[in-house]
Amino acid sequence: MTEQTSPDTIYKGLDGVIADYTAISKVNPESNSLLYRGYPVQQLAAQLSFEEVALLLWTGELPSQEQKEEFIALERAHRALDPRVKSAIDLLPLDAHPMDVARTAVSVLGANHPQSGDSSPEVELRKAQELFAAFPAVVAYDQRRRRKQEVVEPREDLDYSQNFLWMTFGEEAPEEVVDAFRVSMVLYAEHSFNASTFTARVVTSTLADLHSGVTAAIGALKGPLHGGANEAVMHTFEEIGIDKAETREEAAARAKAWMEEALAEKRKVMGFGHRVYKSGDSRVPTMKQALDAMVEYYGRGELMGLYDGLETAMAEAKNILPNLDYPAGPTYHLMGFDTEMFTPLFIAARITGWTAHIQEQRADNSLIRPLSAYNGPDERHL
């Protein structure tokens, strides 16, 4: 196929383009549903551990007891912060964005992997599982070094979510908090051909290795139009002003006034809108329940005046509804994560989806290389 100067249609942003098949997840905007390997995500979030969901995404089926135990043993054995990753992170300034730290850490893990050149399916699955296990220590270390706190070693008696919170905060998290965290991981795990997953697939399509795909995906996730929105939501709340003693109505009025100004300045309101869902993100109700549980647990009802106020104002003014990042941002805030750490939490979850897509792309690969329509100067000569 040749490149044309006046094609019939340009699919800017690849909007509406079906780029390939996937058997990993189905996003259905009509029914507002999301299936992982055929299972509704709400059911998975209610009933399964994040470790089980990860295995489902990678293998296509729910794990047997034996497969589960084997994976749990592997995951617990690969949790400690690799000293080479620690040394690399220590070279970065304390105020480096945690997404830059995360991207560097994954790159270092890839370069040091003893089978870095081997992309056979068994080795790639193993690399994905090891990365899944190793990544929480990167987030925990970065959060703690910013706060000038000592490293907290992982504990083998805790599950993935319990241990993540343990390494980050140095104390065992209560059941309610662990559960809300687990739910967020399950909901963030996978979402078909979003920008970062597609990036991972593009990189894999050149036959590059798994860590290259994940490193590139982290770059794509960082932007505020994608994963960076969960951090941006919290900045919005901070800009509107949280922790003010006021009624819900007063908070809602301030949120509305802030939104009107933002829209007048043609600013996007972060945590709202979606390329695929136009009548609500299927993951939001489940994440909102987790947020409500955290608001109740921490006794922070005042936050919801702003939350509900902005949501109502956006619906009335633009008919634009929240996406997953809207309830996730304040949930992580209440748990005690620094705002800049929110998107790395998204990475921890999405490593599962990305690496499942890397496997799928490699299994039936075709180089991803679209065409462009040239609109520069006509041929000219020096």
Q: How many CA atoms lie within 13 A of 377 on its CB side?
A: 3
CB of 381 to ligand ACO, least distance (A): 40
Looking at residue 377, the DSSP 8-state letter turns out to be P
3-state helix, strand, coil in the chain (%, to 5): 60, 5, 40
State which residue, 173 or 270, has the beta carbon closest to ligand ACO: 270
Distance CA 349, CA 356 (A): 12
| Residue 30: φ, ψ to 5° | -65, -50
Is-catalytic flag, 274? yes
Per the annotation, the verdict on 78 as an active-site residue is: no
CB of 193 to ligand ACO, least distance (A): 13
**Residue number with CB closer to ligand ACO (154 or 271):** 271
Q: How many CB atoms lie within 10 A of CB 196?
A: 26
Which residue's Cβ has the minimum distance to ligand ACO?
Answer: 273
Residue 353 Cβ, how far from ligand ACO at the closest point, in Å? 12
If the CB atoms of residues 107 and 184 are measured against ligand ACO, the closer one turns out to be: 184
Catalytic residue among 211, 274, 333, 357: 274
Told to judge if 325 belongs to the known catalytic residues of this protein, a careful annotator would answer yes
Tokens of 107: 């790159």
Q: Which of 78, 191, 226, 357 is catalytic?
A: 226
Cβ-proximal residues to 217 (8 Å cutoff; 6+ apart), any chain: 196, 197, 199, 200, 203, 350, 354
Task: Tell me the C-alpha distance between 287 and 68, whole Å.
Answer: 25
Between residues 108 and 345, which has the closer beta carbon with respect to ligand ACO?
345
Which chain residues interact with ligand ACO by CB under 6 A?
Answer: 13, 224-227, 229, 268-275, 318, 320, 323-325
Task: With residue 71 as reference, give the H or E element that holds it.
Answer: helix 65-77
Distance CA 88, CA 48 (A): 35
State the catalytic residue, choosing from 209, 325, 333, 357: 325
CB 115 to ligand ACO: min, Å: 32
Minimum distance between the CB of residue 307 and ligand ACO, rounded to whole angstroms?
15
Our CB check for ligand ACO shows the closer of 13 and 117 to be 13
Q: Half-sphere exposure of 3 toward its Cβ, with a 13 Å CA cutoff? A: 7
Query: Cα angle vertex 202, ends 127, 194, to 5°?
Result: 90
**Residues marked as catalytic:** 226, 274, 325
